[in-house]
Chain A
Amino acid sequence: MSSRSTFFSLLLSAVVLTVIWSDRAEAIPAFSRQYKTECSTCHTIYPELNEYGEAFLKNAYVYTGKTHAGQEPEAPAGAGKGGPEGKDESGRPGERRGSVSEGIWLSGIPELVPISLTATQNLSYDAHPVNGDELDLSTRALVLSAGGAFRDKAGFFITYTAFSEGRFDPSSSNTPLNNSTNIGELFLVWRHAFDTPVNLKAGRFKPKLSLWKASNNVTVSSLAPQVYRVGRSLFTVDSPEDGLEANAIIGSRLFAAGGVVNRKGQNTKEGYGHLSYKFGGADFLGHEPVIDFDSDSVWDYLSATVGAYGYYGRNAVNDIGNYYYRTGADLDLLYQRLRLRLSGVKGRDSNPDFLSTKATLHSFVLASEVEYLFGSQVIGAFRYEYQDDGAGITRRYIPTVAYAPLQNTRLVLEYQYEAGPASINRIALLGLTFSL
């Protein structure tokens, strides 16, 4: 059997197995369990967020509509008291405890430990592999995550990588070793601090720079502006850092964030800022736009979010420092089933290879991605990337099809054509991800 027919046989098997397996899956992640709602409330195909997911994220994992921590509007006259999410029986004004017992509610403890598991299994095919392994079927990652809010006063989010594919040593194991376990993010958000619109975030998190986290898409690979590196510097726009951040929704359509990053082992602090504004669609508080049901307007379905950011920092290896900055801008355009994303970032690194003789590098990276939702289970996308990271220019053309047989299961077929400074790479990827 030729390698091509082997590949397609395996591809078909993977699809069939996924469909058969998914019929038995009964999995829902942490937020769905807490709020008793489906994944599609906040996601198109997970983990890509829709505008309500964005509002939920900006509201520090509390459902939108509550203007301040613990407050919500009174129920309308004549409204019943019962129901699974009824008003607090203790009658305390301003806070709702639902069906949670008083002791748990007073303690601020979520009724359920809000933990989720996300597993990623990839199949990749490279016609010209460096290590001679054309077809690779590997378990890539197992990530634990937890998130929620303590009585709507504080939000929290944690990701912990339990497994990521590491070195393969045939003398010790039949499968690749665990690369490392690590905390990806671990932070607490004090919502509406001092009764203001400002949220204060502390811990390890991804500083608010781009409009989207790198994981906020349906593809296997992330947008280049968020993940590219320069030289030996490990900084990326989407890197988790230890720091403090203040963010706020101003009015209802302007979002501002700024923070300080504390890098271990150096006194120099790093700083960043972000501004974004949304035209049309639901606002950042999740409020729907006013639509006239009797006439049509292009703004009924159109929304555009623009964002800009800047980061200034320093990292060092063996006390040899690299001062760097990134400035970027993003556009997120949504019209019914069509979505367009544009992202660009410009940067400068004074010494990204940490050499005794400084060698400054300038970087400039662009990405554009268009995607279309077919039905409610399939997204087709095409991305073009231009990456000048100071070492050469790379162009990528990435068509992708993502399929969600269940809302918690995603199968992605992605082809990457990468024309780099020294070679052309063609890689096909089949990624299977599920969360529970």
Chain B
Amino acid sequence: MKSFVTFVALLLMFTTPCVAGLKVVGKGDAMSLDPSGFPPAMRAAYDIMRVKCVKCHTLERTVVAITTGIAPITGQPFDRGATRAYGTKMLRKPDSNMSKQEVKTVVDLMNYLIDEAAK
């Protein structure tokens, strides 16, 4: 019994935080997702997100929104309607340098991540 408890304690100590199907790595400003388990298309989309979105804010904001279901700044629900609205906002943000296709890809990724987080 004692060795089992020790084993569980050690397991907990070295476990990476997970939200259902998502694997969150790092903390604070360094927080991001581990895309190794994503389908290839979503992995490619994550590469776009990782480069474009961090131009203005850290990935922590996105990860918190996806894993909690609440947009961290506005406190509003972060659902499929919100991902489309944020995508539109970033498309129209003059200095975002995101094309429509890139925004669409990232919105699809966020919808996929929301579904994974809910599992």
Contacts and interface: CB of A to CB of B under 8 A. Distances in A.
B94 A300 contact: no
Contact of A373 (B70, B74, B95): B95
Contacts of B57: 38
A157 B90 CA distance: 29
B68 A79 contact: yes
Contact of A63 (B73, B85, B88, B89): B73
Contact of A287 (B64, B70, B77, B85): B85
B62 interface: no
Contact of A83 (B70, B103, B117): B70
* Size bin of chain A's contact surface: 35 or more
Q: Is the interface of A mostly helix, strand, loop or mixed?
A: loop
B83 to A, nearest CB: 11
Given A75-B69, A79-B70, A293-B107, A40 B56 contact: yes
Contact of B95 (A80, A84, A87, A375): A375
A63 B69 contact: no
A70 to B, nearest CB: 12
A93 to B, nearest CB: 14
Interface string A284-307: 000111110110100011000000
A168 interface: no
Given A83-B70, A85-B70, A293-B107, A76 B77 contact: yes
A294 B91 CA distance: 13
B54 interface: no
Interface string B65-97: 001111011111111000011011101101100
A296 B75 contact: no
A277 to B, nearest CB: 19
Contacts of A72: 75-76
Contacts of B118: 77-78
Given A65-B76, A72-B75, A98-B75, A300 B69 contact: no
Contacts of B104: 293-294
B96 to A, nearest CB: 9
Given A82-B68, A84-B64, A288-B85, 6 more contacts: A37-B73, A64-B74, A85-B70, A282-B89, A291-B91, A336-B94
Interface of B: 19, 56-57, 64, 67-70, 72-79, 84-85, 87-89, 91-92, 94-95, 100-101, 103-104, 107, 117-118
Interface of A: 35-38, 40-41, 44, 52, 63-65, 72-87, 96, 98, 281-282, 287-291, 293-294, 296, 300-301, 336-337, 373, 375-376
